[in-house]
Structure 1
Amino acid sequence: MIKHIVMFKLKEADGRSEYENALEAQKRFDNVIANVKELKKGKVVINSKDAPESNYTISLLCDFDSIDDLNAYQVHPAHLEFGKFIGSVKTDRACIDYEY
């Protein structure tokens, strides 16, 4: 199994607050989870409003059976569409992929 964890720092954009953009990202990523068969398990977590501002805003936690499935997910149209949105509201990104 491959664990794919991505963290984003979000900003105010498109007339929405950082937190509102996190909620929108969560909603849009639910569409990715529903449409990418290679994604075995996916979850979005949003940082607590009371946590330090230096924290990342949102994290995507994903499980794949193999690195090939992760690679297929990366080019899936639903993931690419999500990427367009997140690209417009992020200020920073960190990612790690590991086998377990």
Structure 2
Amino acid sequence: MVKHIVMFKLKETDGKSAMENAKEAQARAEQLEDAIPSLEKIEAVCNAPQADESNYELALICDFKDMEALNAYQTHPAHLKFGEFVSQIKESRTCIDYEY
């Protein structure tokens, strides 16, 4: 199994706060599990409102059968569409993939 963890630092855009953008991205990310067969599980979480504001606003924690399944996810049209949306609202991104 492969765990894919991505965190996004988001920005204000079009009058929406970073946290409002995080909530919208969270809702969109949660739809990926039904749309992408190679994605075993996804947990999309937002930073707690009381947490330090320097924290990243959004994290995606995903499970895949293997690296081949992760690669299929990366190129799937639903993921690419999500990526287009996030690229408009992200300040930065960090990621780790590991086998377990």
TM-score, length of structure 2 as denominator length: 0.97
What's the RMSD between the two structures over aligned residues? 0.7
Residue 20 of structure 2 is matched in structure 1 by: 20
2:31 match: secondary structure: helix
Q: CA deviation at 1:16?
A: 1.2
Q: CA deviation at 1:14?
A: 2.5
Q: Could you list the per-position Cα deviations for residues 14-71 of structure 1 after superposition, in whole angstroms to 9, with x for gaps in the alignment?
A: 3211111011001111221210010000010100111111111110000000000000
The 1-side partners of 2:26 and 2:54 are apart by 20
Structure 2: unaligned runs, 5 residues or longer: none
Structure 1: unaligned runs, 5 residues or longer: none
Residue 91 of structure 1 is matched in structure 2 by: 91
Q: Does 1:44 align with 2:63?
A: no
The 1-side partners of 2:50 and 2:21 are apart by 17
